[in-house]
Amino acid sequence: MAQEEHGAHAGVPLYAVFAVILSVITASEWAIFRFREPWGVSTPMLVGSLAVMSLVKFFMVVGWYMHLRYDPKMLKFVFLFSFLMISGTAAGLLMLMMHV
């Protein structure tokens, strides 16, 4: 069975850039949570901003550090489909619980 060509992997400097970006996002999450009251961040704004930053970090880690970009397209589809199904289910349950 022949192996698929995936191209060259990135070097250490690019991984370092991604690590710095992830660190900055993590520090931003901490700062928003820690200083939400002095900065006047409302609860919906807090939850929304933390959710967006967590999603960005999630996709960076999965797509870059787990090398998902080198995997076959079918695996990407399975992963993204599963992620969307889980997210939709969680969002639906959250909506149901908020209206109870």
What are the boundaries of each domain within the chain? Answer: 11-66, 70-100
Global pTM? 0.69
Tabulate helix, strand, coil % of the chain (nearest 5). 80, 0, 20
Which of 58-62's residues contact partners 24+ apart within 8 Å by CB, and which partners?
Answer: 60/18, 60/21, 60/22, 61/22
Q: What is the pLDDT along the chain (100 residues), one digit of tens a residue?
A: 444 555 566 788 988 999 999 999 999 999 999 999 999 999 889 988 998 999 899 888 887 777 777 778 888 888 889 888 998 898 888 888 887 5
